[in-house]
Amino acid sequence: MSRTAILDLWRDRFRVRTRQATVAFNRLAPRERKLVVVGGAVALAALTYLFGIEPAMQSIARDRAALPALRVQAATVEALTRDVARLRQSANHVASEAALTRDDIVASLAASGMSADTWTVLDADDASANWSVAFKQVPADTLFAWLQRTPLTLRATAQTASLQRSTMSTGRLLSGKADGTVTLTPVKPKNAP
């Protein structure tokens, strides 16, 4: 059967049902007609509420409940944006063409919150201007946070890192502590060859 034939069949059935309903409605007494009309209006109002108004009201209530969390997230994003801007400004004190110095590395490590007895800045490799930093029982989370900030604060990146979990004198592993060496290499300015 073609699509138009199916549509015609449904249209004919609808017309027949409409005629039957009209005839049945006209046979009713005036009082019964009013009751059917009022019942139909109540049913239409109930359907409108259930499928039109109630979902919108639930959506509004859900959005109101989520609003405080979204405000907290927006404040966090704004704070992170300010921190990035502040870090970029503080990174400007290191000239983009200037060599990485021991003082820059020491200041960055001190600002990271690592205690001075957990790290040692080793001498620079003169040929490549790479610096190595040795760590002993440094908190791993603080170390990794410092490594993430080095491109902005020092204009350097970790070229190599040889890290392992710290051990006690008995050979037992320490939780959350790391030992090892990180080699920093200066980041070349974008316009540098």
User: What is the pLDDT, as a whole number, of residue 127?
Assistant: 57
User: What is the pLDDT, as a whole number, of residue 91?
Assistant: 58
For residue range 93-104, list pLDDT tens digits in order. Answer: 544 455 778 888
For residue range 43-87, list pLDDT tens digits in order. Answer: 999 999 999 999 999 999 999 999 998 999 999 999 888 888 887
- Helix H segments across 49-191? 54-91, 102-112, 140-153
Domains belonging to the chain, first-starting first, are: 3-67 (no CATH), 102-186 (3.30.1360)
CB atoms within 10 A of CB 159: 14
89 vs 38: CA distance, rounded Å: 72
User: What is the pLDDT, as a whole number, of residue 158?
Assistant: 87
State the pTM of this model.
0.48
User: What is the pLDDT, as a whole number, of residue 54?
Assistant: 94
| Order of all β-strands in the sheet with 119-121 | 119-121, 131-139, 173-186, 156-167
User: What is the pLDDT, as a whole number, of residue 38?
Assistant: 95
User: What is the pLDDT, as a whole number, of residue 156?
Assistant: 84
User: What is the pLDDT, as a whole number, of residue 104?
Assistant: 86
Q: Which residues of the chain have pLDDT under 50?
A: 94-96, 192-193
CB atoms within 10 A of CB 102: 12
